[in-house]
Amino acid sequence: MVKTFLAAAAALAVAWSGAAGAEQITGAGSTFVYPVLSKWSADYGVKFGDKVNYQSIGSGGGISQIKAGTVDFGATDKPLSPAELAASGLAQFPVVIGAISPVVNIVGVRPGQLKFSGPLLADIYLGKVKNWNDPAIRALNPGMPLPNAAITVIHRSDGSGTTYNWAYYLGQVSPVWKARVGAGTSVQWPVGVGGKGNEGVAAFVGQIPNSIGYLEYAYVIQNHMKYGLVRNSAGRFIGPTVAGFQAAAATADWAHAKDFFLVMTNAPSAAAYPITATTFVLMYKQPRNAARSAAALKFFKWSFEHGQADAAALNYVSLPPVLVKQIARYWATQIK
C-alpha cells in the first residue's frame, strides 16, 4: 500500500518535472489581449516548450504587478508616458491591434449602415443629442429609418483600456468632451448605463431597444452586433475592417513616439479606421531574471512573425511589418 503510494508520488514528480529546462514566463494585465495571448502561448508551448502564464486582471493590475516585479511582463491598453517608464525602469512596446466600434440596437438598421462622425458620438455620449431622429444624426444618415425614440447610452461600468481609447478619441474630436470628461480607464460618464466588461455592454445593447454602446471589434463580430461606420480625419466613413485597422497602424506616427507612447486613434490616413487601439507590453529594461525576460522576448518575436493566423482567427489584427521592425530595433537597444 505504501509502496504503491510512493510509486505514484514518484511518477507524478517525474511527470511534473518533465518540462525541466523550459521557462515558465508569467504575465498579467489587460483583459483585451487575453484570448490571443493564451492562443499564442498554447501554440508556442507546443513548439518550444516554454510556457506563458497570463493572468487577465485588468490593465491597472498589470501595471502594478510589473512595477512590483511579480511578473515578467505586464500588458496594458493605456500606454505609460516615457517619464513614468523611465522612473520605473520599464520598456514598452505594442503587441496587437484592436478597434472599437459603436454598436446600436435599432429596428430596421443593419450592421454597417448607420454613419457617425466623431463629434456626433461625443455629443451622444455627452447627452446633448438625446433622440435618434435628431437633425445631427439625420444629416449623416438621410433616408434611414431612425425612430423618434430616446437614445439609451451604454458605457462600461468597470475600468478598461477600451474606455480609455474611446474617451481619448472623443476628446480628440470634441473639445467639450476633453474639458468636461477627459480620458481615463474610468471616466465620469455624463449619461448612460454601465455594463461590466465588453460582454456586459454587448448584453445591454442587445437587450435595450434604441441603445448605443461601444465594443471591441472581436465582440462585435462574435455577437453579430449592428456596428456603425465612423468618419475618419480624412472625411471618409470607414467600417471596422482589418484593412482599416492596418492602415491606421501603418500611418500612426510611431517613428516619433518615444517608447511607443502613442494612442493610435484618429490616425491620418484616408483609409484608416479612426478608433483603432493597441495593447502595450511592459517589461523591465534590466530584468531581475534575465533568462525569463529573454524567453519572453523570444515568445513575442515568434508571435509577431508567426502568430498572424491565430490573431486573425480571433478577430485581432497583427502589427504591420514596419512596426515590427521598429520594435525589434527597440528591443536591441533598450532591453538587456
Partner 1 sequence: MSIASDEFGGFPPPERSRKTAASEKSYGVGDRIFKGLTGAMAALVLIVLGGAAVAMLWGGLLAFKTFGFRFLWSSRWDAVGHQFGAFVPIYGTLVTSAIAIVMAVPVSFGIAIFLTELAPKWLRGPVGTAIELLAAVPSIIYGMWGLFVFVPFVATYLEPWMNDHVGTLPIIGPLFSGPPIGIGMLTAGTILAIMILPFITAVMRDVFGAVPAELKESAVALGSTTWEVISHVSLPYTRSAVVGAIFLGLGRALGETMAVTFVLGNAHDFSMSLFMPGNSIAAAIANEFTEADSPLYVSSLIALGFLLFVVTFIVLALAKLMLLSLGRMEGAKA
What cell was used for 9?
508520488
Q: How far is CA 331 from the centre of its chain?
A: 22
CB of 51 or CB of 180, closer to partner 1: 180
Per CB under 8 A, does 213 bind partner 1?
A: no
Nearest-approach distance from CB 216 to partner 1, in angstroms = 15
Single out the residue of 94, 102, 118, 192 in contact with partner 1 (rule: CB under 8 A): 192
CB of 48 or CB of 261, closer to partner 1: 261
Please name which of 23, 28, 24, 25 lies closest in space to residue 281, comparing C-alpha atoms. Answer: 28
Binding-site size, partner 1 (CB under 8 A):
34
As a whole number of angstroms, the distance between CA 226 and CA 275 comes to 16
Per CB under 8 A, does 203 bind partner 1?
A: yes
Nearest-approach distance from CB 124 to partner 1, in angstroms = 15
Per CB under 8 A, does 45 bind partner 1?
A: no
Nearest-approach distance from CB 107 to partner 1, in angstroms = 14
Cell numbers 518535472: residue: 17
**Which strands, in side-by-side order, build the sheet including 229-231?**
115-116, 229-231, 237-238
- CA–CA distance from 309 to each of 39, 43, 102, 315, 317 (Å)? 11, 11, 26, 10, 10
Per CB under 8 A, does 57 bind partner 1?
A: yes
What is the full DSSP assignment across 185-197? SS---SS-EEESH
The window from 109-117, 189-197, 214-222, 282-290 that contacts partner 1 (CB under 8 A) reads: 189-197
CB of 154 or CB of 229, closer to partner 1: 154
Cell numbers 483609409: residue: 271
Per CB under 8 A, does 60 bind partner 1?
A: yes
CB of 63 or CB of 173, closer to partner 1: 63
Contacts with partner 1 in 99-158 (CB under 8 A)? 150, 152, 157-158
As a whole number of angstroms, the distance between CA 165 and CA 100 comes to 8
Neighbours of 102 (CB within 10 A): 25
Which parts of this chain interact with partner 1 (CB under 8 A)?
A: 57-61, 63, 150, 152, 157-160, 181-189, 191-196, 200, 203-204, 207-209, 211
